[in-house]
Amino acid sequence: MYLDFEEFRNTYQDGITPKSHSLEDNELYFGLNPNARILVAYVPQENAAPFEQLKATEYYTRPKFPNTINLKEVEYFVPYFKGKGIRDIYQVHHINTCTKMDFDPDCDDERMRLLFQFKFVKHLFEDYRPHDLKIWHCFTDSTVKELIDGKSLIRFIDLFAGIGGIRLGLEQAANEMGYATQCVLTSEIKPAAIKVLRQNHPDEPICGDITQIDTAQIPDFDVLCAGFPCQAFSCAGKRMGFEDARGTLFFEVARILRDKRPKGFILENVEGLVSHDGDRTLRIILDTLRSLGNKVNHRVLDVSDFGVAQKRKAA
């Protein structure tokens, strides 16, 4: 899921000038807007000198850049140095495309990449602070608040939520890795499940039928969780698959993945999905997900392997 530089150049012929923002008088955030978005990016050692001397005015990426980062929202740039971490913050003035030949006439590399132009603002920290670039390895999309507070935030949506089992696993795993989490949308229609969700998450709104929610109404998020209905694939039912209206709800997941382009997703269903219709159903699902530019892995897991006192498999 990488940015198409040709498409970017055609769409933004004059590049992108990030939205203007007003600085806020906030002692904790050093006068920076705490909600302004930041791009934390790896700087190779051979390019480090201008940044260490606070004279850097531009940064160009490698020929691959994640397409999930909304460049129109990026207001600041923070250089990351391997073995040292982060210290300084720069204000982004313009984003455009370039080739390495634009910087080095002796180079014959004609591959396009992004060019960030910026100016130094201030030190975020007195000295370099360790930072683990976990998102996209070389790039982390964050906010001033998240960066200074020391935790990157994973925003997720929970579709066909049930009583929230999938999100619980995501939240526990993320917290163990040092990430904060925020559920920005929950969708469920069963009254009993909604009652439990409201008890466990009283401050979160719960939406109803996902087929009635336009993609534009869904807030931006990083991870999609969905335990899409299993009755059409389960050995306990008629196994009508996509001929059952409930079986087609997977394509609502595909619609949202296509339109929102999150960093990742977690889908869960019954073990019977793997063998349904001679594995044709699974192949359709995997092909659909991969056609959207995703890398997909699937496994059948047994809860007894994770400390639960029963044998129950899920895909």
Q: From 259, 263, 253, 256, select the one nearest 286 (Cα to Cα).
A: 253
DSSP assignment of 35-70: T-EEEEEE--GGG-HHHHTT---EEE--S--BTTS-
The token pair at 17 is 């000038």
Query: Any idea which residue has 């050995």 for tokens?
Result: 235
Alpha-carbon span 105 to 162, nearest angstrom: 59
- The catalytic residue among 138, 207, 230, 235 is 230
Alpha-carbon span 258 to 39, nearest angstrom: 23
Asked if residues 60 and 116 have their Cβ atoms less than 8 Å apart, the reply is: yes
Alpha-carbon span 209 to 92, nearest angstrom: 40
| 98 is known as an active-site residue | no
Name the amino acid, one letter, at 262: P
The token pair at 105 is 């006439």
Residues classed as catalytic: 230
